[in-house]
Structure 1
Amino acid sequence: MKVALLEVRYAGGLDLTDHVVVQTSSRLTLSPRLSALLGILETSERQISMSVKVDGVSYRVERKQNGEYFVGARLSLRERCLSKLRLFEAPSESQRRLNGQFAHLLSAWALIGAGYLVYTTKTWDLRVVIETLLLCFASLTLFVVGHICFSDVHRPDR
């Protein structure tokens, strides 16, 4: 018997992570709370992937007809990379908020960089003007991207 980490991902951006017990027969023993939650989510959400990490190695989880879960084949490198990339496809609300904060931070630093460039330039030439304009444009663009990331976070109809 080993304790492993079960990861279940759904299309709506929901990620469940919980500890399970792997029996010597490769059968997974889930907690009653997790079993009930998976049963409820099965009716309303579309499951993207289900994997279990045993001793640092990721495996597929297979479900039999009787509802029991078993450890399947090892996940390929391609599947592991794709599961990480799917996080960018449908970010959760907190991920969108953090992306917006990061874009606003980069926007502020680009504006500070443009101001520093203007302040420290002794002789103006075409290169300095273009760099300053590009930093200002990047700052404005990142500010708008950050605002777009925040636009869905606090909608009253959600």
Structure 2
Amino acid sequence: MAGSSSLKAQIDSMSAVIDWQTVGSAFKDFWDSTYALEVLNTGRLTSRFRNWGQLLRFIALTASAVVTGLAGFQGDIVRVSTAAAGIIAVVATGSASVFRADQRVAANRTTQQALLAEGWRFVAGAGDYPGGPNQPNTTKFVANIENILDTYVANYVKNVDGTTNASS
């Protein structure tokens, strides 16, 4: 399965199959500077935003538990503590939404998996790549990777950077 080993190990495994003399130095440059870099980048961003989203939700959950636990008590300190925990819960919950952590994870993870699948199809000679890594297939591969990256940017702009519209 494509996700069963580290991204770097998968890229290295794919690279080991490619005869770089056959595909040429320009494709090697594309592979290193665009393909491999984007696979690693989307993996890093997926982890980063998933971790931030989980941390914010954990803080919100903990603060909500504090509010619930203090609800039955009385006194000024309890009221202030309850209010502070409530504010923390609201801010932490809102932050995950405002910064769109889930949308960032989805955009990066989807792109990462699309890039990996395309790379494996290329080296296996499957789909658009009969004969595997050869000069004619490199052109198709580059075009397909560019399409995946164009889709990534469009989805990111739409779902992460885009403004929210009540009528949408």
TM-score of the aligned structures, taking structure 2 as reference length: 0.40
Point out the structure with the larger helix share.
2
TM-score of the aligned structures, taking structure 1 as reference length: 0.42
Q: Answer 1 or 2: higher relative contact order, Cα 8 Å, separation at least 6.
A: 2
